[in-house]
Every structure is written in structure tokens, then in C-alpha cells.
Amino acid sequence: MPAAEKSSAPSGLARELLQLPISIALKSFRLISCAVGIGGIILSYALGIFRLVSSLGLNGHLRAEEREVLDFVSAFQREYGSKRPKFTATDFVDAIWKSRNAYKLLFVYLHSPDHPDTPGFCRRTLCSENFSAFVNENFVAWGESIRTNEGFKAGIRLKATRFPFCAVVVAGPDNTMAVLQRVEGAKSPEEMLMLLQEELEGNACALIAARRKVVERFSLGKQDATLGAIYNANQQRREEKEIVEEAATETKRKSEEEEGTEERRAHEATEEQDILEGKATEAERNDKEDGETLESTVHSFVEKQECLENETAEAERKLEGREEAQDGEKSNTSEEAALARMWQEGALLLGAEPEKGPDITQVLIRFPMGERKERRFYSTANIQSLYDYVESLDILQVGNYRLVSTFPRVVYGSEKVSLSLKEAGLHPQASLFVELNSVKFYAA
């Protein structure tokens, strides 16, 4: 044989293995590897070589499924650039096998070229720097177009109904799988990262434990070859079964949580509907009561107006009395006159006290020395009306004060006097304290 032919021909053992059926060659190599105790890394590498051989025809060409995947990866890179998830160039079944041997979850993307959301999702989410780096670091990625046979079959197997479609898959024994997460519709990079992070954290312990057990299993491979091979095979089957069962349990738990959430939402919607119906009934009853009491309200308003006029006259008399009693104290006259004017103006501005009703606010005001005064106001009245009321009571002898509320503490100072009682959060009832200067007074 010429030298050139010798260099290109495989060795005798390799040639004989290549001539065997692929399934027999794979099982033979696994048995030999376990018997001699070589490590998991060499085993995975060698099995990868045999799978590569199995994907080639007799003339060295790729299978149709793998050629479709390679065409999709090339087209995706031409369209969206090289900053992307590194899709493995195998069919879907081999991608599951690859993720199992890498002890990683499988990230699947099904590409729908005709969907209007596809270009934006690919550019902004799949090809974002943070998301693509996270997927390449922690997952085995596989993608395909649904126009191809391989992509169509994967879509049926994953039950894809809306696009863009992504899924997180955990490999099981004998090329089986469990779907941990389905993501349908366009999502932001942050939403996708959060979903993948949850799945990674939820299954990381099982994957790490499986990898550790496999390493420990191969470290014992130098012992009795036959017993080691049997133990390793049984152990691997148990581990794979545990992974699938854990994934199925997690999927069931999430499904139950989603069902519970839907039930709570339905219950909340029913309660809200009941509340709205109750409010409507209450409004009808209030309208009827308002119509029946309109005449009595008018009569009461006239009476209160007369009382207001009497109060105003009384305030004027008190003011005149104070001015006559304090003629000798010129330094205090101006301040007390100002207070008297404030009381008089407050009484005039208040108007008649309204009757109880849905638009009426009940306000309780407590003074520093323990006095309490209560009055009703329209909810549309502003905070200044409360100051007018305090000044009309002739209780305070100073004008430097402010109204505050506690729990939480809110100061209704000059910047809030234009707010209505409803806008200030005091409707339908409130309790305020009169605070002098920097001294705070609270109820006992």
C-alpha cells in the first residue's frame, strides 16, 4: 500500500470498530471503558467520537437533520451576529444526550421566521450580552427553525403553541426528557434571565449530586471489572431515574401552585364583585334618603344660619370687651386684636355645619390643655377651613400653631392648606392635634 494511503487509512482496531453496527460498537466501548476504569472524561470523549461517526453516512456526509441544524445556525449568525447562544449542531435527540453527559440543563429555542415578534426577540433578548453569556455558561443550547422537519418534530414533542418559543429540558434515561419550563411569547432579557435562574437553582443540586456520584463511581473502576460495570450501570440508572422524578415532581409542584393562584384570583374577583354590588345598593339607599331629608336639611340650614349670626354677634361683643379691657397694655393690644379678628373671620368663613352624609368628613380636634372639639365639614372643604374653625373657638391665646396627625405623623402646614380634606386623606373621619411652636401634644 502506498504511504499516502497508509496515512489516510484508520488503524486495524479502529477500522474493525467502524465496520461494526453503531449500537454494538457503542455498547462494546462502554463495557471496555468501565472494565479498565478509565475516567468519565475519556469515556464521554470517545462516545462523542462514535456518535460523530454514526451521524456520518458511508460517503462522509452529514445526516439531513444535522445539515438542517447547521443551516439554521449559519443563517441565524448571518442575520443576528455572533453574539448569541452557541447552539449545538446536532439533532434534538443528540442535544438531549449531550446535555445529560455534560450534567447541564438543555435550553431550546424554536425559531418562527414568519412571526412578527421573532426579529425583536432575537436581537433584544437572545443576542443580548448578559443573556447569551448566561446560557452559554450554564446550559447546553439547541435551536432550530419550525420550517424544518427536525424543528417541527421538536415543536410537537415540546407542545409549542405560541412563538417565540423557548423551553428548559432535563435529560432522562434512554434519550427521554422532562420539560421543566415553557416560555411562550416575546420576553425581555431580564424576564428570561429570571426564569432560567429559577430553573437552574431548582435543579443545580440534583445535577451536581449526579456529577459527583459519577466521578465517585469511576474512581472505583480499578476494582473488580465485572462487579464495577454492573454497579455503575445500576447506579447510573437510579441517578437518571432520580433526576427525572425530581424534575417531574418540580413540574407538578409548579402546576399546583399555578392552579392555586388561579383559584385565589377567581375568589378575589368574586369578592370584588360583591363589594361593588354592595356599594351600588348603598348608593341607591343614600339617594333615597337624601331625597326624603331634603326639606329637613333646608330648614336645619336656616336655623344654623341664625345660630351663626348669633355666634358672629357674640364674637364681636367679645372682641369689643377685650379691646376695652386691654386699653392700658399697648404692647399686647395689636396681637390680641389680630387673634380676635382671626376668630371673627373664621366664624364668618365656616358657614353652617353640614348634616351627616357620604360626602361629609367628621373631624375631631384636640387642644394642648385637653379640650376636644368636633365638627362636620364637606369633604371638598380645604385644610384652611380647619384653621378657621380652630380660630373661631376662642380657645387658643396664640396664633403660632399648626395641625398635625399621628400614626403616621403628618403636618398640615401652610403648604397643604389648599388641599381638600379628601385629597389630604382625612375623609371620612380624622383626629388632629394642635401643636404649639416646637412642643408636641398627644392624647393620653
Instruction: Write out pLDDT tens, residues 221-273.
Output: 555 566 667 777 888 888 888 888 888 888 888 888 888 888 888 888 888 88
pLDDT value at residue 219: 57
Pick among 3.60.150.10, 3.10.25.10, 3.40.50.720, 3.40.30.10: CATH of 64-187: 3.40.30.10
Task: Write out the DSSP string of 147-189.
Answer: TSHHHHHHHHHHT--SSSEEEEEEE-GGG-EEEEEEEES---H
Of the candidates 42, 14, 19, 20, which has an alpha carbon nearest to the alpha carbon of residue 30? 42
Q: In what order do the strands lie in the sheet with 410-412?
A: 372-378, 360-366, 429-436, 401-405, 410-412
Decide: residue 180, CB within 10 A, 0-12 exposed, 13-18 middle, 19+ buried. buried
Q: Do domains 64-187 and 360-436 have the same CATH topology?
A: no
Arithmetic mean of pLDDT, 7-16: 46
Domains of the chain: which residue ranges? 64-187, 360-436
pLDDT value at residue 65: 85
Q: Are 148 and 210 in contact (CB under 8 A)?
A: no
pLDDT value at residue 342: 62
Residue 19, pLDDT above cutoff 70: no
Q: Give the integer Cα–Cα distance in Å for 125 and 140.
A: 17
What are the tens digits of pLDDT across the range 94-121?
999 999 999 999 999 999 999 999 999 9
Arithmetic mean of pLDDT, 341-369: 83
Query: What pTM did the predictor assign?
Result: 0.39
Which fold, 360-436? Ubiquitin-like (UB roll) (3.10.20)
What are the tens digits of pLDDT across the range 306-323?
887 888 888 788 777 777
Other C-beta atoms lying within 10 Å of the C-beta of residue 239: 18
Q: Give the integer Cα–Cα distance in Å for 171 and 440.
A: 69
